Chains A and B, each alone.
Chain A
Amino acid sequence: MNNPAPAASAPPPAPARRTIDIVNASLKRRYAREARFRFMGASAVFLGLLFVAVLFGDIVSKGYTAFAQTYIQVPVYFDPATLDPDGNRDPQTLANADYLGLVKASLRTLFPRVTGRPQQRELYALISAGAPQQIQTMVRQYPSVLGTTRDVWLIAGADVDMLVKGQIDRELPEADRRIKDSTLTLVDQLKTEGRIEQRFNTGFFTNGTSREPELAGIAGALAGTFYTLALTLLLSFPIGVGAALYLQEFAPKNRWTDLIEVNINNLAAVPSIVFGLLGLAVFINVFGVPRSTPLVGALVLALMTLPTIIIASRAALQSVPPSIREAALGVGASPLQTQFHHVLPLALPGIMTGAIIGMARALGESAPLLMIGMIAFIVDIPQGVTDSATVLPVQIYLWADSPERGFVERTSAAILVLLGFMVVMNLAAVLLRRRFERRW
């Protein structure tokens, strides 16, 4: 700071205060204001990050165990007498054989000292209800196992799974525990024999949902989500961008277009469940689109995302400097050429950001889909847009509603997968922006 020398030697005409003095006097106050603003900004960001960290920490801590699955090794005698009584290896007979009985028999052989019906029922509960299916698949793939005894890793039942993962407290009195003392002994015995193992839970990604938590997977919901979102994008992006282009660049500015604009802005704020009701009333009841399908889901979600895309696209188009349009029109480009060659490419980053935000919202949406039946319990993985399906958020909603302890971790794991998709989509948005961003 170069304060002027005191006006001792200077001639007296006491000058008006110099600008620099006024500036210096106010400088401290200005910097203090700036520091306060920065501090508030930084704390807001910090608080936001803290909440995100807590949320993620909670979900991850609850959900990471779902990516492992407990297996129990059981020696199975593939008894030709029960599986293939006629001895001709007829696939039909093999498919309909009593695999459940086979599993039960194997368990009884493993624990010969367990007798009595209630005790045996407990024994059978060690193994998942999906185990017979596992054996059947084995027999179909390798018919040569017939007549031999093999050690097979069978999926453990949900309670055993929880116990092994430490989700069930052994110290509780037996009456408050989901697992009886006798089962505990069985599990401990299996453990000491090395017959219990945790493996990566591939089933979680390849199975459809199930009533049994240990068999439930997100493949069905993922496929449903994929079909629904792909169709939503396919429907809403071209229509939305086209509408924005027309309204922003071509439509005359009059009372009608004002009215349309106001209504689009209103639609963006309409609760999503209203779109679900609309879809039910119009698409299903009037047009007869099959319910519960990605097709009708996509129609509803496209309606929901359209206002977002239109508004974002219009803003992006508006931010393209008019001089670019003049330049193109000036050399004789038609209005459409002007838009497609020059204006749209410049607006594309903004348009895509809007579209991805809209899609991310559609990805997380469940309320309107409940209205159109996408909440149905569907075990099969959908193969197309007209198969009954559900989507990830709805699956999460359904699992969160289930009382079994095994579904708690799966709910969190499914949320993790959903969040992963969101992160990927937002990352894609950022990358696309970078890729297409141009200066002018």
Chain B
Amino acid sequence: MNALASEIVRDTGAVSAADLARGGHFSGTIGDITTPDPRMVCREVNVWYGDKHAIKDVSLDIGNHQVVAMIGPSGCGKSTFLRCLNRMNDTIDGCRVRGSITLDGQEIYDKGLDPVPLRAQVGMVFQKPNPFPKSIYENVAYGARIHGLTNSKAELDALVETSLRKAGLWNEVKDRLDQPGTGLSGGQQQRLCIARTIAVSPEVILMDEPCSALDPIATAIIEELIDELREQYSIAIVTHSMQQAARVSQRTAYFHLGDLVEVGETTQVFTNPRHKLTEDYITGRFG
């Protein structure tokens, strides 16, 4: 696997004429998949759900202090790829992952690697809000509790408050922290899940459409949060909003039917896409 990781050199040149002639049929990722200061390095990742080949030979770096946006039409495998990064796919029956993914040089799919600390390190906000059927307080405090991150009740209270504040939810729930998190509105639940994830201070944060149910104001708060988190951590975010991707990310990866079609600086991808599929997608002709 390490051999694989080192030998891969991708074509970073412009899309070939032949490519376009074939109607933009995919034949290898365009753009620079690497980044100077990588946190996570994925090489030749393949994922199957039973017989369905959901991710095909995807290689991508996730840099330190960087936000990588993943875009692409529905069903192209963005969530699947994201879930590989903290081994969330382990829980799905019949899901197989091949290839190499490292976090700080450590292969995360190694047999001996324990996914529990990995997931404390690589946190995730899921596509569908999934609060625990417990109180709002307990939802946010749970991670800190099981990991023993705080030493006193006061510390835990403070952690819950700051996490909820960062997620822009504090003012709405501060009077009913003991009420069930499942009783919140969809958008509030989404922010609760964000607060729950950041409460354990993961070093890499995976966000699967974190703003899909949020109004513009809440969205702005979350985007601000992402910007702030980036100073310390690494973030991979899946989004269907081009504007959001353009606003928050430094690099953008475009997925199409399980392939990683194009990666590049966000400004480059949005102003000057090199692959026809990317261009069609971001100009709204596709997806």
* Residue positions of A touching B, CB distance < 8 A: 253, 321-334, 337, 341-342, 346, 438-440
Q: Please name all residues of chain A whose beta carbon is closer than 8 Å to the beta carbon of B196 when the two chains form the complex.
A: 327, 331
Q: Does B146 contact A (CB under 8 A)?
A: yes
Docked CA distance A405–B88 (Å): 71
- Show 12 A/B contacts (Cβ-Cβ < 8 Å), sorted by A: A322-B91, A330-B88, A330-B124, A330-B126, A331-B119, A331-B142, A331-B200, A332-B120, A332-B123, A333-B116, A334-B116, A337-B146
Q: Does B143 contact A (CB under 8 A)?
A: yes
Of B132, B183, B200, the residue contacting A328 (CB under 8 A) is B132
**9 residue pairs, one from A and one from B, having the closest CB atoms:** A332-B120, A331-B143, A323-B130, A327-B130, A440-B133, A332-B119, A330-B124, A438-B133, A334-B116
Q: Is B193 in contact with A325, judged by CB distance below 8 angstroms?
A: no
Q: Does B93 contact A (CB under 8 A)?
A: yes
Q: Please name all residues of chain A whose beta carbon is closer than 8 Å to the beta carbon of B91 when the two chains form the complex.
A: 322, 325-326, 329
- Chain A nearest CB, measured from B27 CB (Å): 35
Q: Is A439 in contact with B119, judged by CB distance below 8 angstroms?
A: no
Q: Is B133 in contact with A333, judged by CB distance below 8 angstroms?
A: no
**Interface size of B by Cβ–Cβ distance < 8 Å?**
28
Q: Is A440 in contact with B142, judged by CB distance below 8 angstroms?
A: no
- Chain B nearest CB, measured from A258 CB (Å): 13
Closest to B145 in A: A341
* Residue positions of B touching A, CB distance < 8 A: 86, 88, 91, 93, 115-117, 119-120, 123-124, 126, 128, 130-133, 142-143, 146-147, 180, 182-183, 193, 196-197, 200
**Which residue, A321, A332, A341, has most C-beta atoms of chain B within 10 A?**
A332
Q: Please name all residues of chain B whose beta carbon is closer than 8 Å to the beta carbon of A322 when the two chains form the complex.
A: 91
- Chain A nearest CB, measured from B134 CB (Å): 8
Docked CA distance A331–B117 (Å): 9
Q: Is A439 in contact with B180, judged by CB distance below 8 angstroms?
A: yes
Q: Is A326 in contact with B133, judged by CB distance below 8 angstroms?
A: no
- The prevalent SS among residues of B at the interface is helix
Closest to B183 in A: A439
Contact status of A342 and B132, CB under 8 A, knowing A330-B86, A330-B119, A334-B116: yes
Q: Is B119 in contact with A346, judged by CB distance below 8 angstroms?
A: no
Closest to B147 in A: A332
Docked CA distance A274–B183 (Å): 50
- Chain A nearest CB, measured from B195 CB (Å): 11
Q: Is A333 in contact with B146, judged by CB distance below 8 angstroms?
A: yes
Of A324, A325, A329, A341, the residue contacting B119 (CB under 8 A) is A329
Docked CA distance A330–B126 (Å): 9
Q: Please name all residues of chain B whose beta carbon is closer than 8 Å to the beta carbon of A329 when the two chains form the complex.
A: 88, 91, 115, 119
Q: Is A324 in contact with B88, judged by CB distance below 8 angstroms?
A: no
Docked CA distance A323–B115 (Å): 18
Closest to B143 in A: A331
Docked CA distance A344–B177 (Å): 23
Q: Is B120 in contact with A331, judged by CB distance below 8 angstroms?
A: yes
- Chain B nearest CB, measured from A54 CB (Å): 44
Of B115, B117, B146, B182, the residue contacting A440 (CB under 8 A) is B182
Of A330, A332, A337, A438, the residue contacting B117 (CB under 8 A) is A332
20 extra A-B contacts, CB within 8 A, seeds A323-B126, A331-B200, A332-B119: A321-B130, A323-B128, A323-B130, A324-B133, A327-B126, A328-B142, A329-B115, A330-B119, A330-B124, A332-B123, A332-B146, A332-B147, A333-B116, A333-B142, A333-B143, A337-B146, A342-B132, A438-B133, A438-B180, A439-B180
Q: Please name all residues of chain B whose beta carbon is closer than 8 Å to the beta carbon of A321 when the two chains form the complex.
A: 130
Docked CA distance A438–B135 (Å): 12
Of B93, B115, B130, the residue contacting A324 (CB under 8 A) is B130
Q: Is A346 in contact with B197, judged by CB distance below 8 angstroms?
A: no
Docked CA distance A282–B93 (Å): 39
Q: Please name all residues of chain B whose beta carbon is closer than 8 Å to the beta carbon of A331 when the two chains form the complex.
A: 119-120, 123, 142-143, 146, 196-197, 200
Q: Is B123 in contact with A330, judged by CB distance below 8 angstroms?
A: yes
Docked CA distance A321–B278 (Å): 36
Docked CA distance A333–B132 (Å): 13
Q: Please name all residues of chain B whose beta carbon is closer than 8 Å to the beta carbon of A324 when the two chains form the complex.
A: 130, 132-133
Q: Is B126 in contact with A326, judged by CB distance below 8 angstroms?
A: yes
- Chain A nearest CB, measured from B169 CB (Å): 16
Of A325, A330, A440, the residue contacting B197 (CB under 8 A) is A330
Closest to B139 in A: A327
Q: Please name all residues of chain A whose beta carbon is closer than 8 Å to the beta carbon of B193 when the two chains form the complex.
A: 327
Contact status of A332 and B143, CB under 8 A, knowing A322-B91, A324-B132, A440-B133: yes
Q: Please name all residues of chain B whose beta carbon is closer than 8 Å to the beta carbon of A323 when the two chains form the complex.
A: 126, 128, 130
**Which residue, A324, A331, A333, has most C-beta atoms of chain B within 10 A?**
A331
Closest to A438 in B: B133
Q: Is A327 in contact with B131, judged by CB distance below 8 angstroms?
A: yes
Docked CA distance A322–B196 (Å): 18
Docked CA distance A322–B127 (Å): 13
Docked CA distance A330–B85 (Å): 11
Docked CA distance A21–B36 (Å): 68
